[in-house]
């Protein structure tokens, strides 16, 4: 069974700093997707970034980028020039490519951006 582990329950950084959130996963699959979801206080789940396992190039979305290390089964999220609006829970998630495409979520990292 797949598992997703986020080892940092909570983090705080100053506004404008760069922060990296860690995620490791366990799978025997070769084809899968990895995601980072953001959940602000509103509770809405928002997709931040997505990485296809077959792509070697790390995904980027504006200030958000990932460091995908397939052999190490590591998928960290880097937030550059952090903003107060980045304050949220961040969930790492794994999805293997099959009929149902279920997503397995980590327990989350609570990120506080301090003014």
Partner 1 sequence: NAGVTQTPKFRILKIGQSMTLQCTQDMNHNYMYWYRQDPGMGLKLIYYSVGAGITDKGEVPNGYNVSRSTTEDFPLRLELAAPSQTSVYFCASRQGATLYEQYFGPGTRLTVT
100/115 with CB nearer partner 1: 100
Distance CA 38, CA 58 (A): 19
Touching partner 1, residues 40-69 (CB under 8 A): 42-45, 47, 50
Provide the token pair at 63: 């200030």
Tell the smallest beta-carbon distance from residue 111 to partner 1 (Å): 14
Q: Nearest CA to 110 among 93, 89, 95?
A: 89
Q: Which stretch binds partner 1 (CB under 8 A): 21-29, 56-64, 79-87, 91-99?
A: 91-99
CB 114 → partner 1: shortest distance, Å?
Answer: 21
Q: Which helix (H) or strand (E) holds 104?
A: strand 103-105
């Amino acid at each position: 069974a797949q598992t997703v582990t986020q080892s940092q329950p909570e983090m705080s950084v100053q506004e404008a700093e760069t922060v990296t959130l860690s995620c490791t996963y366990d799978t025997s699959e070769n084809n899968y997707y990895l995601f980072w979801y953001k959940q602000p206080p509103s509770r809405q789940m928002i997709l931040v970034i997505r990485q296809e396992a077959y792509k070697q190039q790390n995904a980027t979305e504006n200030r958000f980028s990932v460091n995908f290390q397939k052999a190490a089964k590591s998928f960290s999220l880097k937030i550059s020039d952090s903003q107060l609006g980045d304050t949220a829970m961040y969930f790492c998630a794994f999805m293997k490519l099959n009929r149902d495409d279920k997503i397995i979520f980590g327990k989350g990292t609570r990120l506080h951006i301090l003014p």
